[in-house]
Chains A and B, each alone.
Chain A
Amino acid sequence: MAIDSKVVAQVAHLACLQVDDNETAALSERLNDILAMVDQLQQADVEGVAPLAHPLDVSQPLRDDQVTEPDVRERVMPIAPAIEEGCFLVPRVIE
């Protein structure tokens, strides 16, 4: 798969990144280089090799269902740019 300026713009949009039009050509070149490396990996013979979701051969430790986290509201609210009645405020989003 080759990445062109259009794909770069779309991925940037999905990731909420601001990318200027004059940057997309250079970015697509670099992304294509990465994909070329992935293509090389694709050529490896993985017949009989199980897919790997994680490089470590360990499993997820589980936690008992107990509430131990303190209420941090008073500490985090002042960090937010806008708050009201205990809510964080963001510019209006309506679907």
Chain B
Amino acid sequence: MSWETVIGLEVHVQLATASKLFSASSTRTGDEPNSNASLIDLAMPGTLPVVNREAIRHAIRFGLAIDAEIGRRSVFERKNYFYPDLPKGYQTTQLAEPIVGAGVVDLQLEDGTRKSVRIHHAHLEEDAGKSLHEAFSDETGRAMTGIDLNRAGTPLIEIVSEPDMSNAEEAVAFARKLHAIVTSLGISDGDMSQGNMRFDVNISVRRPGEPLGTRTETKNLNSFRFMEKAIKLEVERQIDVLENGGEVVQETRLYNGETNTARAMRSKEDANDYRYFPCPDLLPVLVSEEEINELRDALPELPDARKARFVEAYALSEYDAELLCADLATAAYFEAAAKQGGDAKLAANWVMGELTARLNADDIGIAQSPVSAEHLGELIQRIKDGTISSKIAKQVFDACWAGEGSPDQIIESKGLKQMSDTGELEKIVDDIIANHPAQVEDYRGSDDAKRKKKIGFFVGQAMKATQGKANPQQLNQLLQQKLNG
């Protein structure tokens, strides 16, 4: 008998504000530890929080993008727990009256089907600081944990989905869509490598038609690939437990991407009772209709609209357009390369092919690509105007990736220009024919079908002699002409 998987996601998105949610200290990363931690962030007695307007507006922008009801009145609450990177002893968050109510996110799956995932709500909260577990010890040599509070108080929205997904692929498609939405809105840079977008996945399995099974929560997944693997691993584990007569325990689990394993972090018995209550330091936040309308009117192009425009304007397939719209940076890169190169289809193929492969291999984002959109556009121009062949283009791309200059500079300095002088090519072809009498005889004694294969030998020789710079069509024509005589 088969099993059904039920998946819900909680997604933390760091908002792109200059200052923190409740204090006017910087959200910048990479600074000296604790240099962006103000007295408020440090929870010094006598300090009071003041809410950042832009964080509220970012949350509303997200709500509008997913067609959610916006909380005209939202209330901050205290979630109480003790951890060294949380100086106040509570996280200021929202519970009963969040800023963003129920909404919906539409997905296009790889097989072409569409799916809607309901959003239960999204609320504003502050991030904690960072605990550094390595390399610290006190004067007696006892291992210590270092605390850096630069991140403490950075604004987040936590997006809580309904358990509407039924496999890892759907969960990843949903996560990608959220990433596309928040980056398109400009409310987050969505940089998962920095933990600026992270996913908690709630998973349970059941027999079809039966009530929901006991769920586990796998926390803090920070890449789509790890998320997919972690879900598959946990679904297998739960099915295994149940099929062997065991019971799934409600627990929080930690996934290790390097080893593709997970372990229980804490079970329900010692789960925290957070003792939420409305924060007495903060008043309810009221949002006016005017402000909501103003924000709605100023929303930028969203992924679904962009995708439709790509299909329409660049004659791309739905699938290609969906991939290119997966995040704002990729979409912008593609558009710039297509514009400069003058060929959208070629630009799409290069972005989804060579470029994506190299980015994945080097594990970097498109923003860090050593080959800029302008470079790729230039490369496409040179393919189109016949300066170089597609094969040589890959070589130019590699050199450009290695930082050897712009495509034009590389073509020039390496002498990669396609040989367009027929006289020069003709001489090379003549030499090859003269130097390989046996192969020529063999070729001439073959029928048409075999000739098509055997001509490859001469093409190879000519490419070798010209270091790949011969124009393939021209070369083929010449060879046929001379060999068929």
Contact = CB atoms under 8 A, between A and B. Distances in A.
A90 B129 CA distance: 13
B39 interface: yes
A54 B277 CA distance: 11
Of listed A59, A65, A95, residue having the most chain B CB within 10 A: A65
Contacts of A58: 283
B148 interface: yes
Interface string B44-58: 000000111111100
B145 A86 contact: no
Nearest to A84: B136
Interface residues of B, number: 58
Interface stretch (A18-26, A28-36, A37-45, A70-78): A70-78
B146 A73 contact: no
Contacts of A72: 37-39, 42
A14 B24 contact: no
B50 A90 contact: no
A53 B97 CA distance: 10
Given A54-B278, A60-B284, A60-B285, A69 B53 contact: no
A63 B53 contact: yes
User: Looking at A58, A59, A62, which has the most chain B CB atoms within 10 Å of its CB?
Assistant: A62
Contacts, number: 139
Contacts of A49: none
B61 to A, nearest CB: 14
Given A69-B24, A87-B33, A60 B282 contact: yes
Interface string A2-15: 00000000100011
Nearest to B81: A14
Nearest to B58: A65
B249 to A, nearest CB: 17
B80 interface: yes
A53 B286 CA distance: 13
A56 B286 CA distance: 14
B133 interface: yes
A17 to B, nearest CB: 11
Contacts of A91: 142, 144-145
Interface in B278-298: 278, 280, 282-286
B18 interface: yes
Given A71-B36, A87-B33, A14 B272 contact: yes
Nearest to B282: A60
B88 to A, nearest CB: 13
A1 interface: no
B13 interface: no
Nearest to A68: B24
B102 interface: no
Nearest to B19: A67
Contact of B33 (A59, A86, A90, A94): A86
Nearest to B147: A88
B314 to A, nearest CB: 36
Nearest to A54: B283
B144 A89 contact: yes
A47 interface: no
A46 interface: no
Given A59-B284, A86-B33, A89-B144, A65 B38 contact: no
A76 B42 contact: yes
Nearest 9 Cβ contacts at the A-B interface: A87-B146, A65-B54, A62-B53, A69-B38, A86-B33, A69-B25, A60-B283, A59-B286, A88-B147
